[in-house]
Amino acid sequence: MNPQETRRVRVGVIGASGYGGAELVRLLHHHPGVELTYLGAHSQTAPDVAQVYPHLRGLGMALEPYHADVVAERCEAAFVALPSGVSGKVAAELAGRGLRTIDLSGDLRLPADVYRQWYAHDPVDPAVQAQAVYGLTEWNRHALPTAQLVANPGCYATAVLLALLPLAAAGWLPERGVVVDAQSGVSGAGRTPTQSAHLGELYENFYPYKVGRHQHTPEIEQGLAVYTPVRLLLTTQLLPAVRGIYAVSYVPLPQPVGLDEVRARFAAQYAKEPFVDLYGPGDIPQLKHVRGSNKVALGLALDERTGVLQVFSALDNLVKGAAGQAVQNFNVMYGWPETTALSALALYP
């Protein structure tokens, strides 16, 4: 029925030694339109990727050093999940070689001046960045079929933008006074051993990090700015858990907008979205409801005493917050049904 179904796109994953890359492999493994032809890594290589990720035993693929020539020869499309500061350059290089490329880092999401302010790296060529399509699928779907280079959104940014964009679009988001309190499982910080990821340190722990300077702040504000200028405070915290983003967005709701109106707006906005699950009155999303799935769960509550609307959003940072959304974008780019390879239910418990 679909021309793409007649053959598989040859796909490479660069950064497969990281958690985001391994998740891409997990999802793409069963994609009927994908032939995985290359796994590359930033720092580790191995004759068999299973030496690095034993759960991938039997895949039979090597973890290779990155060479643009090799990737260009072997792949038509690439997912790049390298550390910020490296990833965008590699993605740009591969896009320049003609590969349709999805970059999962933050390198291509922000204009150079903003990037420079929030990231500790040099920005990529502004012309390249400007060309990258921001891959928040639900809100930018139309731009994907023709995209050569996609900037896949950040995990926090995905959770918060899906929570706030319906309000912004409705004109109900105040410019000041929005606070977002969010938390992430440790996998968001990658697989590299660090003291903060040590189980001895993180078990029974919880605390904010990058206070006042998390780089997803400008990404969220930029996403909202399409509709309305907002300056918000994003606090990011580390959960003693592996997967997941849970964000509570506190929005002083302008009078006389009520909860029913808000709910109707969200319902209309996301009615046909396969991966946005709007919970009903009184139902609160839980992080675990979406673990391993590509869903984002949204909940709404209005505190009558203070007039503050709370929007709850939960997603799996490695799926909808990274690899899953990247595959979702790939599906749109190549004309596959958007749920292809992404319809697995959450792993519960």
**Contact call for residue 250 and its own copies (CB under 8 A):** yes
Neighbouring CB atoms inside 10 A of 268's CB total 10
Q: How far is the CB of 108 from its own copies (least distance, A)?
A: 23
| Cβ-based nearer residue to its own copies, 1 or 345 | 345
Location of structure tokens 């965008």: 88
**Contact call for residue 272 and its own copies (CB under 8 A):** no
φ, ψ (nearest 5 deg) of residue 25? -60, -45
Tokens of 317: 């940072």
**Binding to its own copies in span 101-130, by CB under 8 A:** none
Q: How far is the CB of 212 from its own copies (least distance, A)?
A: 5
| Cβ-based nearer residue to its own copies, 76 or 273 | 273
What 3-state DSSP class applies to 339?
coil
Q: Which one of 128, 155, 186, 323 is the catalytic residue? A: 155
**Contact call for residue 57 and its own copies (CB under 8 A):** yes
**Contact call for residue 301 and its own copies (CB under 8 A):** yes
Q: How far is the CB of 61 from its own copies (least distance, A)?
A: 13
Does an H or E element contain 89, and which? Answer: helix 87-96
Tokens of 186: 């440790």
**Binding to its own copies in span 172-231, by CB under 8 A:** 176-177, 179, 181, 183, 185-187, 191, 193-195, 197-209, 211-212, 231
**Contact call for residue 346 and its own copies (CB under 8 A):** yes
Distance CA 91, CA 98 (A): 11
Residue count, binding to its own copies (CB under 8 A): 82
Cβ 153 vs Cβ 205: under 8 Å? no
Nearest residue to 284 (alpha-carbon basis) of 318, 248, 259, 321: 248
Tokens of 185: 């499982």
**Contact call for residue 287 and its own copies (CB under 8 A):** yes
| Cβ-based nearer residue to its own copies, 2 or 192 | 192
Distance CA 64, CA 48 (A): 9
* Interacting residue with its own copies among 37, 289, 296, 320 (CB under 8 A): 289
| Environment class of 75 (CB within 10 Å of its CB; exposed 0-12, middle 13-18, buried 19+) | buried
What 3-state DSSP class applies to 8?
coil
**Contact call for residue 286 and its own copies (CB under 8 A):** yes
Q: Which amino acid is at 51?
A: Q
State yes or no: is 155 an active-site residue: yes
Location of structure tokens 């319906």: 166
| Cβ-based nearer residue to its own copies, 26 or 216 | 26
Cβ 104 vs Cβ 158: under 8 Å? no
**Contact call for residue 306 and its own copies (CB under 8 A):** yes
Instruction: Tell me the per-residue interface mask from 30 to 49 with its own copies, x by CB under 8 A, - otherwise.
Output: x-------------------
| Cβ-based nearer residue to its own copies, 90 or 186 | 186
Q: How far is the CB of 293 from its own copies (least distance, A)?
A: 7
**Contact call for residue 308 and its own copies (CB under 8 A):** yes
Does an H or E element contain 216, and which? Answer: helix 216-225
Residues marked active site are found at 155
